[in-house]
Copies of this chain bind each other. A is one copy, B any other.
């Protein structure tokens, strides 16, 4: 049997990712005690009921007391507020990490709030579904996926290694990245696709009533996949767009230019422009399949 990595782990925000992490920590025996801290009505209690944590509280400062690992799993927009709330209660030597989909802003928000005696390891496990809440989590969600860690120049190497080891035991492959680069890669692979999906589903719902009923009815031919993505947690995604603004606006600009070019090709009947692009994107699909990310 492997030695538990941690004595006491506090998970702040016990939604889809937080509760999945609690489950995998238990499955892999990574900690002696897991505490859920969540201020949402009934959420912490629900995690306790599900039997995935040992203790649960709505008092975040209470949750982190004596923890040697604190994992921030709340929407990124409240990172600074949570860091401020827990700072006085953090045990010296504790490791603080996060799972936010944005890294530069989270680092800016969290770092100044934390005492010098704790180690901050910014991270982002690339895992999840469109669902949310503690009931939606499952230990397997991390299996075979990437976890990006974006340590700072002064990040403690032992803390980085312990966080890495936790995600490895959860089934993830670790990738170390510069935070700004992370934010650009995610802007194109994740944030822009979500923004587009939200938009197109919104556009459909704005059409006349009969049409939007039919859109739902006949959604199996493309639209359906967009509704799945656009069913993701509204607060989480609001915070991502507001906190990765520059990178999102940059890729959005590129996307709009490319879309305008296609629009023009359709208007003028330039079939060869469409065919050339559609053949190129098919090759990328093949690359995704070959990279076993399909």
Contacts and interface: CB of A to CB of B under 8 A. Distances in A.
Interface string A8-42: 00000000000000000000000000000000000
Contacts of A282: 230-232, 234
A257 to B, nearest CB: 8
Contact of A203 (B190, B206, B214, B255): B255
A199 interface: yes
Contacts of A186: 218, 221
Contact of A293 (B128, B145, B220, B279): B220
A136 to B, nearest CB: 13
A242 B266 contact: yes
A237 B288 CA distance: 21
Contact of A211 (B184, B214, B279): B184
A277 B241 CA distance: 13
A185 B284 contact: no
B193 A222 contact: yes
A238 to B, nearest CB: 4
A189 interface: yes
Contact of A294 (B222, B224, B275): B224
Interface string A238-281: 11011001001101101110110011001101010011011111
A130 B285 contact: yes
Interface in A127-159: 127-128, 130, 145-146, 148
B225 A193 contact: yes
Contact of A189 (B195, B221, B248): B221
B146 A217 contact: yes
A198 B278 contact: yes
B294 A228 contact: yes
Contact of A223 (B193, B203, B219): B193
6 contacts: A127-B220, A185-B215, A196-B200, A216-B284, A231-B286, A245-B266
Given A148-B218, A193-B225, A241-B266, 4 more contacts: A188-B215, A196-B200, A225-B225, A249-B267
